[in-house]
Amino acid sequence: MNAYRRGPLIFDVVDRGPADGTPVVLLHGFPETSASWDLVAPELAAAGYRVLAPDQRGYSPRARPGGRGAYRSTELVRDVLALADSAGAGAFHVVGHDFGAAVAWVLAMRSPERLLTMTALSVPHPAAFRRAAFSGPQGLRSWYMAFFQLPWLPEAMLTAQSWRSFERNLERSGLPQQFAERYVTHLREPGALTAALNWYRGLRPLADARATKVAVPTLLMWGTRDAYVHETGIHLTERYMSGPYRLAVLDGVNHWIPETAAEQVVELLLPHLAAGEPAAV
């Protein structure tokens, strides 16, 4: 595990593959860590890419600022750009799952000149998600997002109940036990749970770019057994694309795509990344 710095914050990052390979930044979601990419990263590195998988803001123990304002989308995006800058990457590929996909979408909207390609796993374009949440079944699946934005109460309820119950809930949604145990152990570190929930509390600024169309070549993957994200927003995403776009529907796959469908992820990713590689001079 290596590290990079942005101001006073120090982020842990898995850095593998050839140093001169085109960088691919892998962004995890909630309540994951960079370990969510353990089955994907080695295959990308073996294909010649330099793989950078950070423990994002709040998940890295030395990068846990207090307050919801520190978890605005602008800060999350700048963290990713700081990682790319530290790796000497002018342009790079970004792949995000869950909340990491939300960051990747905003990055593609606000700094498209830095991206070669964008890939989102499980989560549609923010405007499509918002529209689906107010007009269909997505709202019921997203009830916890509003709850997690409340101050102190989610922490009180999550820590009052057995951590094993939380872990079992993750397993029931399809997350393999070894990953659920690892993520819950990480969340039990001092300050980690509040920092992870602050991602939800900082959601409001995502509205700033909610209707911006994405021109970056984009691949969206979604599993038909996703318990958290309904297909409505997934299929609405095409309306918010102005560049090359592909939707890959993974039959029988749940929300935890990197952990449970790594082989399919790599099979879809490699040609998508190759198509976005800079032309040889």
Catalytic residues: 98, 200, 255
Under a CB-based contact definition with an 8 Å cutoff, are residues 256 and 262 in contact? no
- H or E element: which one contains 24? strand 23-27
Q: Where are the alpha helices (DSSP H) in 90-223?
A: 99-110, 126-133, 138-141, 143-148, 153-160, 163-172, 177-187, 192-201
Please state the separation of Cα 100 from the chain's center in Å.
1
- Distance between CA 281 and CA 276 in Å, rounded? 15
Cis geometry, peptide bond prior to residue 31 (ω within 30 degrees of 0) = yes
Parallel/antiparallel/unpaired status of strands 2-6 and 9-16:
antiparallel
Residue pointed to by tokens 């085109």: 22
